Structures are given as C-alpha cells and as structure tokens.
Structure 1
Amino acid sequence: MSTPAPDRAEPDAALLLDSLPVPLLEVGAGNVVLAVNMAAEEFFGMSRQQIKAGGMAEIAPPDHPIYLLLTHLRQRGGSVTEHDLLFSSPRFHHEGVSVQGAEVLDHPGHLLLTFHLPSTARVLDQQQVYRSAARSVSGMAAMLAHEVRNPLSGIKGAAQLLEQAVSDADRDLATLICDEVDRIDALVERMGMFGEARMDYRALNIHRLLEHVKLLAGNGFAKGLRIIECYDPSLPHVWGDRDRLVQVLLNLVKNAAEALQEAGKEGDITLMTSYRPGIRVTAPGTTQWRHLPLVVTIRDTGPGISETVRPHLFEPFVSTKVNGSGLGLALVGKVMDDHGGVMEVESRPGRTEISLFLPLAEERGGLP
C-alpha cells in the first residue's frame, strides 16, 4: 500500500503578491493602504513602509480621479477600470495608466487596485508614424537633389556674373542672391542624409559609442553642462551602423543641451542603458520577429516638450526652436527605422526622456 504524499504547504499570500509583475495595492477604509507588492514599490519609487504610512495621499492628490473609482467600488461593489490616468510626483511619473479596481471577497471595505502602463502596442503605433515620416523625407530628399539642386548652381553662377557687372548699389542684391542660394543648397544637402545609403552593420559596444558622444558634446555644444552616465555594464553588443548611431545620439544629446540652455537654467543630461525584454516587432516586409531588448535613454531636466508638439516630434520640419530646421529628429526617426528599432518619448516639465529600443548583435538575423 503506497504512502500518501504529504500535503504541500500553502504559499504565503505576501509571497504570491510579490510574485506578480503588476503593481498592486490593497486599500482599506479611510484610504489606508494595507498591502503593497514589490512591483508597486518600484512603480511608485517608495518602499511599502512609506506607502503604508502615507496612505493613498502618497500616491495621488485629493482631486485625483482614482478617488472617484474608490468611491464607486465602495458604493456599488464589483470591479471597474479607469483609463488614461496620470500619476506624478518628485519620485515617479507615469502617463496613460489604466487602473483596475475590485472589492476583496469576504473582506468588506477592502479594495484591490492594479496599475497598468500603456501597452507596447501604443509604442509600436507611434513608431509607424515615425516610419511614415522617415519614408516621406527620403522621397523628398531624392526629389530635391534632382529638381532643385541642379538649377541652384545655374542661379548662383548667373548671380556671380551679375555681381561683377552691376553698379555698387545693385551689387548687394546679387550678393544676397548668392547667400540665399548657399542657404538653400545647405538645406538640400542636409535633406540628402535621408537618402538610401549603404549601411555598415556590425556588433557594437553601445557604451563606447555613448562615451564618444559624451566626449564630443562635453567639448562642444554641451560644454559646461553636467552629463551623467548610468549604464548597465552587463549589456551585450548592439547590431548597428556605428556612424549612424553616433549621429542619432549626438542629435538627441544636442537637443537636450539646447533645451537646458534656452531655458536659462542649470540642469543635467543623463545617458542611460538598460535591458528590457518584452518588445518584439516584425521586420518590415517579412514575417520574422525582431527582439529589441537593449534600451538607450537620453534624459534631460529641461522644460519638457509641449503636448501639442510631442505627437509630431519626429516629423520633418517640426521644431520648437526659433531657427530650427526640424530635420534633426526626423533623421533620428529615419536611422532608427533603418535599424529596425523603435522609439519612445516621455516628457513633462523638469524631465524629458527619449528611449531607443535596439536589436542585439546575437539576434541580427533578418536585418538588412
């Protein structure tokens, strides 16, 4: 006769909550926080002791919509979901959060709240906009190179001849024509960077690229600004074109530096790397999935990007600068599209982050 297997010990409830990857709070009467899991600690940038001590007031101000959700649950029970909420404090900032609430069975007055960040799908939808913008600029670059640049040389040549033949009073006008032709030619040359060029893909140490960019910035446009490095030293190599990636990173750091300088305040630029599994996209024109776990983030403490500009940030000719051409970030979008990567932008007053999600060298199959 076989001996029955001993009963397995029931797992501890707190251990189960800490195993969940979703931030979770248990809220009691008076909006006292009774339980906090590890994901919520990370989400709100506080220990569970701090959150419990401060209650929901540590999470959201008194006029926050989450309190309407709690009131609804206490009055009607069941479960309810509120979308597109903002949670912000000096410790954390999360936009577009969905909060799901439900009553705890057999515990009257106890409510469970889970917090869900915007899905990866939203990031990928945004990326489709960036890709469309990049393609439109590529087509425009080819057209300008052929239809505009050739006549420009003839116009400039004629203006130079006129400059020698006209009177002193009219010579300034001929010089003005030459100067404007040079300006247009420089713009067309910048547009030429969007054309299809041969890419030199290889395995790259992303930290070497960032150190190179920091050196260039610190001795040039970002001189006098503090540039902080916060790297994950265990990251594997990225698969990309060195010169194009340096160009992208320089553009982003330059924008961050200019945002601080135009605001006329001291601030920091932080270069960060991390490994975030979970984002996979299909390579354009194929059915292959590409894993993009390597993340490079450029953060600045400037005034932030306005909500009206943010959705169009990587479109050509969109700029927040007085004399900006609006091509720098459009070029970033084009290069990221060439690498099969995606971008994510988060911004609020005092903090802007642009994150680049890039493929690993060991998963380079399917890249051009």
Structure 2
Amino acid sequence: MTVALTTVPPLRTQQDGPSLAELMTALPVATLVVAPDNRIAEANVRAETLLNMARSAIVGSDVARTIRMAEMGARFDIWHSNKPIAAYDVKVHAGRTAEMEVDLMIAPIIDHEGWRIVSLHTQSQARKIGHRGTAGGARSAMGAAAILAHEIKNPLSGIRGAAQLLESGNGGRDTALTQLICNEVDRIAALIDRMQDFTTDRTLECHPGNIYPLIDRAANIAAAGFASNIKIIRRYDPSLPFAVINDDALVQVMINLLKNAAEALEKSDEPRIRVETAFRHGVSVVVGKGKGSAVLPIEILVIDNGPGVPEHILDHLFNPFITGRRDGQGLGLALVDKLVRDMNGFVQYSRDQEAGESTFRILLPMGMP
C-alpha cells in the first residue's frame, strides 16, 4: 500500500499576524513585487483592477512591458535602478488600460538585492501633499504679472511726469506734495518690478554653494522682523554637502516660507518654527517632458505648529492669488514654487495631524564645491 505523505502547514493563530499574501491583498493601492530580472513576481487585487489583467497574466511578465512609460525620454533606466524613485504625474500605458496619469513609486527591498516594490497611485498623491507635476501655477502667475505690469506701469509714468510738471509750474510751493506723489509712484513701480519676477522663463544662474549662510540670513531677517515673537529652532546636518543654488533665490524662498509660517502662527499660544536640513540618500524623481530623472538629496524643511492649510485650497496651494488669509495676496508660495523649480528642485507641503505640524519640504540637487 502506498501512503501519500502530505505536509500540513502549521496552524496559524491570531498572534502570528497576517501573512504576506494577506498584506498584499489589503494594500489600498496597486502594488507589484518585481524580481531582479524585471519579472513581476506578485501582484495584488488592486493591481489586477488597474492593469485590467488577471494575476496569472501579470505574474511572470516583464514589468517594463506591463507598465510602459508614455514619455520616451522619461524611460531612462527607471526599471534598472536600485535607488528609490518617485515619478509624480507621469503618463503610462498600464496593462490593457488606456494611457493614464499616475504617481509611480519604486522602493528597493532591503537585504534582497534587485527586488523592488512598485506601487501606482491613480489619484495623485503629488497634489494631495501640495506638489505639482507641472508648473501651471507659476505660468498663470507669469501671465497675470505681465498683464498687470503693462496696464499699470504706463499710467504710472504719466502720473509721475504730471507731478514733476506741476512742481516746476508753481515755483516749488507744493514740493512736499509733489514729492509724495513721485515717491508713491516709485514704490508702486517697484512692486510691479517684483511681480515681473514671474514673467520670465529665463534660467537662473546656479552654482554649487553652502546653503547655511543663506538659510541663516533669512532666519535672522525673520527673527528681527515679522517673526520677532516666534521661537525659531535651527537643526542642521553639519555634514551636508553643497547644493546647486542661486543665492538670492534661495534667500527669497526661505523668507517667503518663514513669513508664511509666521502668519499661520498668529493665533498660536506657543508659536514655533523649525528649520531643518538633511541628506536623503537615493531620492530621485522623474521630472517628465523627456528630461529623465533628477537626484535631489539636499533637503530643507520649514516646520510650524500652526493650524495648517485650509482643506479647500490644498489642491491649488502653489497657484497665484490663492490664500487662506483675508488680507493675503497669494503670491508668496507661487514665487517659492517658481524659484525652486528654476533651481531644478521641487517643493511640497504635508501635514502631520498627530504632531500638529505643517511642513514645507524643499529638495535640491547636490553640487561639488
């Protein structure tokens, strides 16, 4: 008589916790496990739905064929990199579905060389945390500023000329009043000049530089003025290498973020702002439009313990003329977005409800001294 031997799996108890298969099934986003040879080793139910393919068809397929980048220039080596990659708002052909826009996250599995977890978010996490895949906000601001500059500067020059003629025609008797008119016209013209920062797509002249003197300059300006009653805490990574920056642009970015934080803290009992820096190994993003990837390891954080950004403006936080303040102009964060992009970095917003803190995070490329 032949006895068939069977292996009885060990009994599982509630204390054992969920299995890997159960965890994969429960994940709320489409998730794939990719082997070193780029073959898909596992796929959850969300992935089957998103790709419009059965698990049996997904497992064993080449991930580069299953998830095809619509922008050829963005393909570079996305499936042959051992670094974490975040590709925001990229267009892909996924499985049997039509072209779609997703956030694509690739994370290496520690201690298992070549193995990766791939997740696809169809509802853009980039927009939820305040990051834009395009510079639409900055472009809108550029257009608005150009129109305002054209429509306002011409009559201003006429007003100034009329004041000067008035002064010369009455023998200088009303010099104080005419000078006041000229001074106010000059002040408004200077404001328009600042708004014209939005009206150009010229590339900033960037160079490898030490960010700390620039951050300190902005923090000192804040402490001496608009944030004089707020505790500003500085936590710097002393080993941070140089970043590729434009000095004036970085100072302006930091001042705007510090001012934004200070305004958010006006009604806080114990207002605090933390400025932190760190080096983030392996942080890469896909910049789109055929530009490939960018490595952005230099991190600057501006953190405040205010109430956070109102929910209704989160999706448009970096657009011009969007503000949660009654007396706000809504240009500060739009300029931050433009200047950081001009330095080939990006800025994003997030909220930690548990800690009660809001964070603006800047990522910049590294430069050699």
- Do both share a fold (TM > 0.5)? yes
Aligned to 1:67: none
Task: Provide the alpha-carbon RMSD of the alignment.
Answer: 4.4
Aligned pairs (5 A) from 1:152-171: 152-155=156-159, 157-158=161-162
CA distance in 2, matches of 1:281, 1:118: 15
Label 1:130 to 1:191 Cα distance change in 2 as closer, same or farther (>3 A).
farther
1:222 aligns with 2:168: no
For the residue of structure 1 that corresponds to 2:251, the secondary structure is helix
Superposition map of 1:123-142 within 5 A: 123=126, 127-128=131-132, 131-142=135-146
Aligned mate of 1:237, from 236, 239, 242: 242
- C-alpha change, 1:124 and 1:340, in structure 2 (3 Å) is farther
Instruction: Report the Cα offset of residue 146 of structure 1.
Output: 2.9
Aligned residue in 2 for 1:275: 279
Q: Which residue of 2 aligns with 1:328?
A: 332
TM-aligned CA distance change 1:119 to 1:215, over 3 Å: farther
- Whose RCO is larger (CA < 8 A, sep 6+)? 2
Q: Counterpart of 1:326 in structure 2: which amino acid? A: G
Bigger helix fraction: 1
Unaligned runs of 5+ in 2: 1-11, 31-43, 47-116, 170-177
How far apart, in 2, do the equivalents of 1:236 and 1:265 lie? Answer: 37
Q: In the alignment, which of 305, 312, 322 is matched to residue 301 of structure 1?
A: 305
**Mapped contact 2:131–2:349 kept (Cα < 8 A):** no
Indicate which of 343, 357, 367 corresponds to 1:351: 357
Which secondary structure does the structure 2 equivalent of 1:309 belong to? Answer: helix
Equivalents in 2 of 1:78, 1:206: separation in Å? 42
Name the CA distance, whole Å, in 1 between partners of 2:153 and 2:321: 19
1:82 aligns with 2:28: yes
Q: How is 1:1-368 mapped onto 2 (pairs within 5 angstroms)?
A: 29=14, 79-82=25-28, 122-123=125-126, 127-128=131-132, 131-155=135-159, 157-158=161-162, 185=189, 187-196=191-200, 199-260=204-265, 262-282=266-286, 286-347=290-351, 350-362=356-368
How far is 1:288 from its partner?
A: 4.0
Q: Which runs of 5+ in 1 are unaligned?
A: 1-26, 36-72, 85-97, 101-113, 166-173
**TM-fit CA distance, 1:246:** 0.7
Report if the CA contact (8 A) 2:317-2:333 is conserved: yes
> How far apart, CA to CA, are the structure 1 residues paired with 2:123 and 2:301?
17
Give the superposition deviation at 1:235.
1.7
- Determine the C-alpha separation between the residues in 1 that align with 2:343 and 2:360: 17
- Residue type matched to 2:155 in 1? P
Please, which moves more after superposition, 219-228 or 246-255?
Answer: 219-228
Q: How far does residue 361 in structure 1 lie from its aligned partner after superposition?
A: 0.8
Shift of 1:303: 1.2
**Residue 239 of structure 2 aligns to which amino acid in structure 1?**
S
Aligned match of 2:103 = none
Q: Name the SS of the counterpart of 2:222 in structure 1.
A: helix
Of the structure 1 ranges 143-152 and 234-243, higher mean CA displacement relative to structure 2 is found in 143-152
1:34–1:213 CA distance, 2 compared to 1 (3 A): same
Give distance in 1, aligned partners of 2:360 and 2:187: 30
Cα gap change, 1:118/1:176 in structure 2, threshold over 3 Å: closer, same or farther?
farther
Overall identity of the aligned pairs, in %? 38
| Range moving further from structure 2, 116-125 or 130-139 | 116-125
Q: Distance in 1 between matches of 2:226 and 2:140?
A: 30
Query: Deviations 1:133-155 (Å, cap 9, x if unpaired)?
Result: 11222233333333431123224
Q: Which amino acid aligns with 1:300?
A: D
Deviations 1:147-190 (A, max 9, x none): 4311232245557879999xxxxxxxx99999996786454233
CA–CA distance in 2 between the matches of 1:83 and 1:193? Answer: 40
Q: 1:333 to 1:358 in 2, by over 3 A?
A: same
* TM-score, with structure 2 as normaliser: 0.58
Q: Count the aligned residue pairs.
A: 263
Structure 1 residue 265, shift from structure 2 partner: 1.9
AA aligned to 2:241 is: P
- 2:126 touches 2:133 (CA, 8 Å); kept in 1? no
Q: Distance in 1 between matches of 2:322 and 2:285?
A: 27
**Structure 2 CA distance for partners of 1:227 and 1:153, relative to 1, 3 Å:** same
Whole-angstrom CA distance in 2 between matches of 1:120 and 1:288: 22
Q: The residue matched to 2:135 in structure 1 has which SS?
A: helix
* Counterparts in 2 of 1:157 and 1:132: CA distance versus 1, 3 Å: same
SS at match of 1:215: helix
